[in-house]
């Protein structure tokens, strides 16, 4: 492994003589540089999308877990039994992590936005609220409703998750799309660099012929191409990544303060992914070109 890394470093330094013998090949060079750059740029976007969507999904998911309540409206006398029945039902329902009866202060806090702080909660015939925490897998809402109706007629499941769940799903989906896009971009980059390398090799068939004629070994010829494409992919992708990162920083940072959607930018560890992009591109270029070069050379006399 260390040898391989050293080999790569060696590659990037270059070898004046071997590099001169393969012509500069202007357009495949530009093409490779540009492809690597554009792909890296798009990767930054896709990565940001995935990471942001992932964070969003996680945050929403965790908020979701606390947004179902069971409301028990019953005559004072039955309140205690029905509450106990509800808690028992909830305890035995798969997908429910916990249930907790809200105390008077909490109930008052919930009502505050509507009635102001002075509402006499104790003196009102208000229902009792049970906060339900679900597990990641979630529970079967309709089944729970049926059971509650049977066990505690005054209990109503108020599933606030219903309208938030699609949000979580959407965020999850965004993340999926982002990863899919990254995979696609990586595959396209590999394919395009392979094809560009093969185009360069094909365009230089005569050069290769001359080099073989004067006694050049395959590795000598292959190395000139591999070195070139690896370096181009590395620098192109580095430029693209930097451009993408700058773009991300320049995007107006909206919604930041609410903390609810920290935004599409990278936060914390997200940035750590960026240097991987050019390195991956260089690795892809290295192997793709090497394979292409040795294959083309193997077919010659």
Partner 1 sequence: MIELDEAAYSYNSDDLLAGMTLQLAPGSFHFLTGPSGAGKTTFLKLCYMELMPTRGAVRVFGTDVRAMSRDAVALNRRRIGIVHQDCQFLDHLSVAENVALPLAVSGRDPSSEAGNIDELMAWVGLDGRRGARPPELSGGERQRAALARAVVLSPDVILADEPTGNIDWDMAQRLLRLLVELNRMGKTVLVATHDLNLIRAAKAQVAARVLRIRDRRLQSAGADL
Which residues of the chain form contacts with partner 1 (CB under 8 A)? 17-18, 20-21, 23-24, 206-207, 209-218, 220, 297-298, 301
Residues 213, 191: Cα–Cα separation, whole Å: 31
Q: How far apart are CB 124 and a copy of itself at their closest, in Å? A: 7
Instruction: Measure Cα distances from 181 to 49, 78, 187, 236 in Å.
Output: 10, 57, 10, 19
Please choose which of partner 1, a copy of itself, none residue 173 contacts, taking the beta carbon within 5 to 8 angstroms, the exact cut-off set by kind. a copy of itself
In whole angstroms, the minimum distance from the beta carbon of 18 to partner 1 comes to 8
C-alpha separations of 284 from 67, 198, 224 in Å: 46, 14, 17
Residue 285 within binding range of a copy of itself, rule CB under 8 A: no
Strand 128-134: give its sheet, edge to edge.
96-101, 128-134, 68-72, 155-159
Q: Point out which span in 145-153, 188-196, 220-228, 280-288 binds a copy of itself (CB under 8 A).
A: 188-196
Q: How far is the CB of 229 from partner 1 (least distance, A)?
A: 18
* Residue 24 binding target from a copy of itself, partner 1, none, CB below 5 to 8 Å by type: partner 1
Q: Per-residue x/- marks for a copy of itself, 35-74, CB under 8 A?
A: x--x--xx--x---x------x--------------x-x-
Cα–Cα distance for residue pair 140/154, rounded to 1 Å: 20
Q: Does 185 bind a copy of itself (CB under 8 A)?
A: yes
87 binds a copy of itself (CB under 8 A): no
Q: Which residues pair with 70 in a beta bridge?
A: 130, 157
Question: Which of 181, 207, 216, 279 is the binder for a copy of itself (CB under 8 A)?
Answer: 181
Stretch that binds a copy of itself, among 7-15, 89-97, 122-130, 283-291 (CB under 8 A): 122-130
Strands 155-159 and 96-101: unpaired
Q: Is 175 in the site for a copy of itself (CB under 8 A)?
A: no
Number of neighbours of residue 288 by Cβ within 10 angstroms:
24
Compute the radius of gyration of the chain from its Cα atoms. 31
Contact criterion met (CB below 8 Å) for 264 and 54: no
Q: What are phi and psi of 153, to 5 degrees?
A: -60, -25
Nearest to 59 by CA among 272, 274, 268, 258: 258
Closer Cβ to partner 1, 17 or 92, answer by number? 17
Binding test (CB under 8 A) with a copy of itself, winner from 7, 98, 136, 166: 166
Q: How many whole angstroms separate alpha carbon 52 and alpha carbon 177?
A: 12
Q: Which residues of 12-41 are buried (b: 16+ CB within 10 A; e: fewer)?
A: eeeeeebeebbeebeebbebbbebbbbbbb
Using the rule CB under 8 A, is 215 a contact of a copy of itself? no
Q: Is 203 in the site for a copy of itself (CB under 8 A)?
A: yes
Residues in the site for a copy of itself, rule: CB under 8 A? 25-28, 30-31, 34-35, 38, 41-42, 45, 49, 56, 71, 73, 110-111, 113-116, 118-120, 124-127, 129, 156, 158, 162-163, 165-167, 169-170, 172-174, 176-177, 180-181, 184-185, 187-188, 191-192, 195-196, 198-199, 202-203, 247, 251, 254-255, 258, 260-261, 263-264
């Amino acid at each position: 492994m260390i040898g391989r890394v050293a080999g790569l470093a060696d590659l990037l330094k270059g070898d004046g003589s071997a590099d001169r013998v393969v012509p500069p090949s202007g357009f495949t060079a530009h093409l490779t540089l540009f492809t690597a750059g554009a792909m890296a740029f798009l990767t930054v976007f896709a990565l940001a999308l995935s990471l942001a969507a992932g964070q969003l999904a996680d945050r929403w998911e965790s908020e979701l877990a606390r947004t179902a309540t069971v409301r028990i409206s019953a005559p004072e006398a039955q309140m205690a039994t029905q509450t106990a029945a509800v808690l028992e039902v909830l305890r035995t329902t798969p997908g429910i992590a916990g249930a907790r009866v809200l105390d008077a202060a909490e109930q008052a806090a919930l009502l505050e936005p509507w009635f102001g702080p002075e509402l006499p909660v104790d003196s009102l015939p208000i229902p009792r609220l049970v906060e339900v925490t679900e597990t990641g897998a979630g529970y079967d809402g309709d089944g729970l409703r049926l059971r509650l109706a049977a066990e505690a007629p005054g209990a109503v499941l108020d599933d606030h998750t219903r309208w938030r769940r699609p949000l979580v799903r959407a965020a999850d989906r965004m993340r999926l799309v982002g990863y899919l896009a990254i995979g696609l971009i990586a595959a396209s980059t590999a394919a395009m660099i392979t094809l560009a390398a093969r185009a360069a090799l094909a365009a230089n068939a005569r050069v290769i012929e001359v080099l073989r004629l004067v006694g050049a070994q395959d590795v000598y010829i292959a190395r000139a191409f591999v070195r070139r494409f690896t370096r181009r992919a590395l620098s192109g992708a580095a430029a693209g990544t930097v451009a993408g990162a700058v773009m991300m920083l320049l995007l107006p940072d909206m919604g930041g303060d609410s903390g609810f959607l920290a935004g599409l930018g990278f936060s914390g560890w997200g940035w750590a992914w960026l240097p991987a992009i050019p390195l991956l591109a260089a690795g892809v270029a290295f192997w793709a070109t090497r394979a292409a070069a040795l294959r083309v050379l193997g077919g010659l006399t």
